[in-house]
Amino acid sequence: MPSMNEDDAASMTEQLENRLVDSIKDHEGVSRRSVLGGLALAGGSAITGIGAAQSGNESGGNATTGHDASFGTPGKYTEKNFDPHGYLREFNTGDSTNERDAIFGKKDDLNAGVSQENGQTVREFNLIAVPQEIEIAPGVTFPSWTYNGQVPAPTLRVEEGDLIRINFTNAFSDMAHTIHPHVQNLNPAMDGVPQNGPGAIKPGETFTYEWQARPAGTHLYHCHMLPLKAHIHRGMYGTIVIDPKPEKVRENPRDYIDYHGPITDEVREMAVERAKSRNMISHADYVPDGYDDIDEMVMMNGFDTNFDADNEVYAANTRAFAYAPAKTHKYEGEWEGGKTKHPIEIKKNNLQRVHVIQTLEYDFINSFHTHSQFFDYYDAGTTLFPNRSTIDTVMMCQAQRGLFEIDYSDHQPGLYMFHGHQSEFAEQGWMSFFEVTE
C-alpha cells in the first residue's frame, strides 16, 4: 500500500495552491494569466487581466518583459522555459556536449568548454544577466532578474583544483550586476563585489571572472550589487558543486574530516572511498556498497510578490508545490511544460544526495525536514563524514548550504513528504514529496 493516497495528496496540494494563488493575485510583483474559474476552492473569485509588474520599493527600475496571452488552467504550470524536474538533476560541467538544450528547449551556450592550461583543468561557462518573467505559481509570473533566464541560475559542477572561468555579460539595459562566488578566492579582483576589481558590471559590459575550485563542497554564487537583498531576492543565485579529488583526500585526509583523532589507514581509505562516491566528474560510475546507484539533486527559495520585504511564495526551486502530486498528470511520467508538477521519483535502492542552499531574503531562517526518514547532514558539503547524523530537520541561515544523504532502501514504496518546517512556508509552496519506487 502506498504511504499516502495519491488523490488525497493531490487534493490537499490543490487547495493549498489555490489559496496561495488567491492570496497573491493582486500583488504588484505578479502578472496573472487569465484564469477561468477554478479559484473558488479557496474562497476566491475568478480573476481576469494582467496586473502591473513594476519594481516597487527596490532601486533598479522595471525589469519586466512582455507577457504572452495564453490562458492558464488552475493547477497547471504553462511556462515551458523552466522545468523544475529537469533543473533538479542538471549539473553543468562546462562540457559543451551535454543535454542542457533538451531540458530548457533553447540554446544559451552556458557550457563553453573544458580545456587544459598550465597543467590545470579549465571549465568555462557563459553567464548572462537578463530580466525574465518566471512562473512561480500556476499561471502567476514574477518579474525576475536572472542569470541565463532561469531561477535558480544554472548549477555549475567542477572538480576540486579546477579553474572556473565565467564569461559574464550584463544584458540589462538599466542595471549593473556582478557574480560573487562562495569559494576560496585567491584574487580579490575576482570576488564579484562592486568595490573591488572590475566592480559593477554595467549594462552591456562583459567581464571574465576566474575562480579557483576549492574547497570541495556545495557552494553558492550570487549577484553582489546593492541593494543586495533586492538582487538576491529577484533571483540572481545559483549553485556550484565542487567534487572532491580522491588523490587530494589521500594526501591530506584531515582537510576533509571534522575529526581530531588519529588518521589510521582505515580512516584514510574510508575518506578516499567517500570522495570517489561524491565525484561525479572523474568517478561517475563509482557506487558505494549496498546501493544500485547515486542520485543527486539541488533545491532552494522564495519570492516577495508585493515588494514589502516579506515573502509570500516559498518553493523548492521556484515553482510553489512543483514537486507535489497533481491531478493533471496521473503519474504518466510526462515532464513537458504544463505537466511538470509531480513528486520527485526516486528508486529505493539508490543513495539520495540533496544539495540544499538557503537563498531566502527577508526570512532569516529556512529548514529542510523529511517525513518518515532520518538523514546524514554535511554542512557546506565540505566534509566527507557527516557533521550530524540521524536527524530529520536542519535549520539553515541565509547563504548556509548543506548536503543531505537520505536512504529509503528499507521503506515501502509510496509518497513521503518533505518541506520547510516553518509551517507557513510549507503551506505557501515549500512542500513536496518523494515518490519512492522499487
- Return the exposure string of 249-271: e unless at least 16 CB atoms fall within 10 Å of the residue's CB, then b: beeebebbbeeeeeeeeebbeeb
Dihedral sign, CA of 401, 402, 403, 407?
negative
Using CB under 5 A as the binding rule, the residues of this chain from 201 to 230 that contact Cu ion are 223, 225
E strands, 36-155, where? 111-117, 120-137, 140-147
* Nearest to Cu ion of 58, 295 (CB atom): 58
Distances in whole angstroms, Cα of residue 112 to Cα of each of 109, 117, 164, 166, 207:
6, 15, 11, 9, 15
Min dist CB 196 to Cu ion, Å, is 16
Using CB under 5 A as the binding rule, the residues of this chain from 69 to 108 that contact Cu ion are none
Min dist CB 384 to Cu ion, Å, is 34
Alpha-carbon distance 213 to 244, whole Å? Answer: 10
* Nearest to Cu ion of 188, 203 (CB atom): 203
Q: How many residues bind Cu ion (CB under 5 A)?
A: 5
By CB under 5 A, residue 158 contacts Cu ion:
no
By CB under 5 A, residue 231 contacts Cu ion:
yes
* Nearest to Cu ion of 18, 64 (CB atom): 64
Q: Are 6 and 415 in contact (CB under 8 A)?
A: yes
CA angle centred on 333, ends 418 and 89, rounded to 5°: 55
Min dist CB 386 to Cu ion, Å, is 34
* Nearest to Cu ion of 177, 214 (CB atom): 177
Name beta bridge partners: 313: 303
* Nearest to Cu ion of 178, 370 (CB atom): 178
Per-residue x/- track, 159-198, Cu ion (CB under 5 A): ------------------x---------------------
**Nearest residue to Cu ion, by Cβ distance, number only:** 223
Min dist CB 179 to Cu ion, Å, is 9
Min dist CB 177 to Cu ion, Å, is 3
Burial class (CB in 10 A: 0-12, 13-18, 19+), 314: buried
* Nearest to Cu ion of 32, 231 (CB atom): 231
By CB under 5 A, residue 233 contacts Cu ion:
no
* Nearest to Cu ion of 211, 375 (CB atom): 211
Q: Are 91 and 157 in contact (CB under 8 A)?
A: yes
CA angle centred on 149, ends 16 and 133, rounded to 5°: 50
At 435, list the grid cell. 515518490
Which phi and psi angles does 420 have, rounded to 5°? -70, 140
* Nearest to Cu ion of 86, 194 (CB atom): 194
Q: Which residues contact 135 (CB under 8 A, 6 or more apart)?
A: 77, 78, 79, 82, 141, 142, 319
Using CB under 5 A as the binding rule, the residues of this chain from 299 to 318 that contact Cu ion are none
* Nearest to Cu ion of 176, 426 (CB atom): 176
Q: How far is CA 54 from the centre of its chain?
A: 25
Per-residue x/- track, 234-263, Cu ion (CB under 5 A): --x---------------------------
Which phi and psi angles does 12 have, rounded to 5°? -60, -45
Q: Are 94 and 281 in contact (CB under 8 A)?
A: no
Residues that bind Cu ion (CB under 5 A): 177, 223, 225, 231, 236
